[in-house]
Amino acid sequence: MAKGIFKSSLTKKYTMAATGLFLISFLVVHASINAMIFFNDGGKTFNEWGHFMGTNLIVRTMEIGLFAGLILHIVDGLVLFFQNRAARPVAYAYEKPNASSKWYSRSMAILGTLILFFLIIHLKDFWLKTRITGLTGEKHVFVNGVWMENLYSEMRLVFTELWVVIVYLLGCFSLFWHLLHGFRSAFQSLGWNQGQYGQIIAFSGDAFSVFISALFASMPVAMYLNLVH
């Protein structure tokens, strides 16, 4: 399989696109569940969903796939990055890159690395605590006859610090630019760009990038400003 993935420039592109779209599908699920905090029910619905995601066997198995997909995306991205640098060994004395392309399209590796830094902090804040070290706040809550981890209170605790909120906003900002290029790019890599379909994909990609990044960003902000109860 590894040979198939890295066989040629194009198979590397397919892998990048497939893992990128897979990560996008994860973002949709992740953002939807997190948005439950906006029900303003003291985190009840959100905690129920968090409990389901944390205990359901199928979801837990998919989590392994998610990490595998992320690692493949990163490794493939780095391989492409270094190959592409090697393909341009001598720089121009004078170059006007902005005349023909967007800065964020040329900065996918840097934006991806910023996302990765954010992910490490983010995993330490939540994933590590729920799965391994245990929550730091109000640990458990009794919902509908079941004791479950109180992820909602953990979120409230994490987002009391301004610098944490700022780090999360920077993460969302990096994600926005990464997706602004990445969404349409993935479809192009898979060969889905013809005439008006290309325009529909481009528009959907832009709208999705704005929406998903703003939705994620609104969560730490709303918690910090005590806008959710």
Partner 1 sequence: MTTLKYNHVVINNNMENGMNLTLKVWRQANAEAQGQMTEYKLGNVSPDMSFLEMMDVLNDGLIRKGEDPVTFDHDCREGICGMCSMFINGEAHGPNRGVTTCQLHMRSFKDGDTIYIEPWRSAGFPVIKDLMVDRSAFDRIQQAGGFVSVNTSGRTLDANAIPVPKADADKAFDAATCIGCGACVATCPNGSAMLFVGAKVSQFALLPQGHPERHDRVENMVKQMDAEGFGNCSNIGACEVKCPKSISIENIARMNREYMAANLKG
Q: How far apart (Å, rounded) are the C-alpha atoms in residues 227 and 41?
A: 12
| Contact set for ligand HEM, span 38-77 (CB under 6 A) | 73-74, 77
Judge whether 131 and 141 are in contact, CB under 8 Å: no
Kindly write out the interface string for residues 26-65 of this chain, putting x where it contacts partner 1 by CB under 8 A and - elsewhere. ----------------------------------------
Question: Which of partner 1, ligand HEM, none interacts with 73 (beta carbon under 5 to 8 A by kind)?
Answer: ligand HEM
What angle do helix axes 9-34 and 195-224 make, rounded to 10 degrees?
Answer: 40
Kindly write out the interface string for residues 133-172 of this chain, putting x where it contacts ligand HEM by CB under 6 A and - elsewhere. ----------------------------------------
Question: Which of partner 1, ligand HEM, none interacts with 133 (beta carbon under 5 to 8 A by kind)?
Answer: none
Tokens matching residue 30: 């992740």
51 in helix, strand or coil? helix
| Contact set for partner 1, span 59-118 (CB under 8 A) | 80, 83-84, 86-97, 99-102, 105-106, 108
Judge whether 228 and 37 are in contact, CB under 8 Å: yes
Cβ proximity to partner 1: between 8 and 56 the closer is 8
CA-nearest of 155, 165, 164 to 50 is 155
Identify the DSSP state of 106: G
Judge whether 109 and 123 are in contact, CB under 8 Å: no
Q: How far apart (Å, rounded) are the C-alpha atoms in residues 132 and 134?
A: 6
| Contact set for ligand HEM, span 168-227 (CB under 6 A) | 178, 182-183, 185-186, 189
Tokens matching residue 109: 């590796």
Q: How many residues bind ligand HEM (CB under 6 A)?
A: 25
| Contact set for partner 1, span 111-140 (CB under 8 A) | none
Residues that bind ligand HEM (CB under 6 A): 13, 16-17, 20-21, 23-24, 27, 73-74, 77, 80-81, 108-109, 112-113, 115-116, 178, 182-183, 185-186, 189
Q: Which residues would be at the binding site for partner 1 (CB under 8 A)?
A: 8-14, 80, 83-84, 86-97, 99-102, 105-106, 108, 181, 184-185, 188-195, 198
